[in-house]
Amino acid sequence: MFIDETEVYVRSGKGGDGFVHFHREKYVNRGGPDGGDGGRGGDVVFEVVSTLNSLVSFRYKGRFIADDGKKGGVNNMTGRSASDLVVPVPPGTVVHDAASGELLGDLVEPGQRLVVCKGGRGGRGNPHFASSRHQAPRTAEKGEPGEERTVGLVLKLIADVGIVGVPNAGKSSLLAAVTNAHPKIADYPFTTLHPNLGVTQMDQNTSLVLADIPGLIEGAHLGVGLGDAFLRHIQRTRVLIHLIDGLSEDPLADYSQINSELALFDPELAKKPVIVALNKIDLPEVQQRWADIERLLKSKGVDQPVAVSALARFGLDPLLWKCVELLRNAPEPVAAKELPVYRPPNDPREFNIRRTDDGGYKVFGTAIERAAAMTYWEFEGSVRRFQRLMDKLGVEDRLREMGIQNGDTVYIGDEYELEWQD
């Protein structure tokens, strides 16, 4: 099975909690705070693995969650940081945020990495909160929550040569004849339902990677036939073989139709080096038509069209060596680039407050919700620190302006519930 587009849920690890502890040792009076910091949560990292050629593995697993960092210990011992979760992806994978559509990365080179979710930092132990006036703090931080998001993955195959043409032109037969690939071959339209890759070794130092693109018909760029799902794979190729069916009623119309679909999908495709080849030249009726077809193609600006037979394996070596010659001067494929779009910076200190159905107040905001998640509610010092932060951010003043009364409930995000005492 071939899958070239999917969405997955990813979440990085939470940081380990800081520790509240005081040094205890015989003959050591007032040893002081010695709670260790928490370890860092694991990142979620996409890494290119050259042996992969589809996204099929994501069909069976659509959630990737990194490990959390470990809690700090006594004697200032820092908790263990979690290992990064490395997710293998094939070369040519484009990663974008599913919610906003923002491009996150274009993974092309083997070994290339992209951090899609960064692990939370470890919480600080109580030594960080000691001062000359407060020498025994019962205050620490819990680990920072990890990030989570849904990302979209789109695969654009990376091949030297892309084979395009109308359905049943013989593209799969050509790929099978020159490589060890075994695509499905039959005498009905749309036999090929997904792109196939194959490698041919020309000589000791020269090899070609070829991609057989499913047949295109008029309107493919708008979703007609198999649609435009496979046209993006042609964007990665550097040279095209435009294969024409020698038994077609109007080979020239087929040729023009495919060129139009490529140009309508992406104008850059029309600029790629292309070799036009008429297939099935082993048949007598095609041999009789070849001279007229060659003349018509040349009148349309085609330089040196060739005649081949994938079934009889006639003319294939010269065709492939011509591809090698064009590849030497063809530009390298470039990674996808995001258009410059201005995005107003989000201030994490911003917050919103709304009334709830039960008469309470619900507070939303990046900084205040993160602070609540990192607070030890069982320690009075940590609670006072959170209250100071609410005052510093202006949450308390806003609640008073909205008319909050003693005993009213304040919700921080979706997880924390507090009672207001003025």
The answer to whether position 80 is within a domain reads yes
Are both 37 and 101 inside the same structural domain?
yes
Predicted pLDDT at 192 = 47
Which tens digit of pLDDT belongs to each residue from 89-104?
A: 988 888 999 988 888 8
Task: Choose one of 121, 155, 189: the last residue of a domain.
Answer: 155
Residue 343 belongs to a domain: no
Is 78:36 a contact under the CB 8 Å cutoff?
yes
Question: Does a structural domain hold residue 344?
Answer: no
* Residues 299 and 389 occupy one common structural domain: no
Establish if 143 belongs to a structural domain.
yes
C-beta neighbour count of 5 within 10 angstroms: 13
> Tokens 């099978």 appear where?
176
234, containing H or E segment: helix 231-236
Are 184 and 292 in the same domain? yes
Residue-range definition of the domain harbouring residue 102: 1-155
Q: Residues 213-255: pLDDT tens digits?
A: 775 644 444 444 444 555 666 777 888 888 988 888 888 888 8
Q: Chunked in runs of 10, what are the mean pLDDT values of the chain (422 residues)?
A: 77 95 84 92 93 80 94 93 94 88 87 93 93 88 94 82 83 82 52 66 78 61 48 77 88 84 78 88 91 88 88 89 86 56 65 89 90 90 89 90 90 88 80
* Residue 56 domain-assigned (yes or no): yes
Please name the residue ranges forming H helices in 241-378: 251-265, 284-299, 316-329, 366-373
- Tell me the CATH number at 369: 3.30.300.350
Q: Is residue 338 part of a domain?
A: no
CA-based Rg of the chain, rounded to a whole angstrom? 31
- Rounded to 10 degrees, what is the CA torsion of 109, 199, 165, 173? -160
Same domain, residue pair 357 and 242: no
Task: Specify whether 217 is located in the same domain as 274.
Answer: yes
Cβ contacts of residue 190 below 8 Å, gap of 6+?
A: 167, 214, 215, 225, 226
Phi-psi region of 198 (alpha: psi -120 to 50; beta: other; left: phi over 0): beta
Could you tell me if 151 and 184 lie in one domain? Answer: no
Residues in the chain: 422
The owner of tokens 């490698």 is 199
Q: Are residues 317 and 180 in the same domain?
A: yes
Q: Are 349 and 338 in contact (CB under 8 A)?
A: no
Cβ atoms within 10 Å, residue 377: 12
342 found inside a domain: no
Closest CA to 123 of 109, 105, 143: 143
pLDDT at 223: 46
| Residue 220: predicted pLDDT | 42
**Domain count across the chain:** 3
- Is residue 198 located within the same domain as residue 146? no
Do 68 and 109 form a contact (C-beta atoms < 8 A)? Answer: no
Tell me, yes or no, whether 144 and 176 share the same domain.
no
- Would you list the DSSP string of 145-185? PPPEEEEEEEE----SEEEE-STTSSHHHHHHHHSS-----
Say if residue 10 is in the same domain as residue 102.
yes
The tokens describing 421, both together, are: 């005492």
- Gap between the Cα atoms of 280 and 245, Å rounded: 7
Q: What is the DSSP letter of 351?
A: -
Cβ–Cβ < 8 Å for 234, 241: no
pLDDT of res. 213 = 77
Has residue 280 been placed in a domain? yes
* pTM of the entire predicted model: 0.68
Whichever domain contains 61, its CATH number is 2.70.210.12
| 148 and 166 assigned to the same domain | no
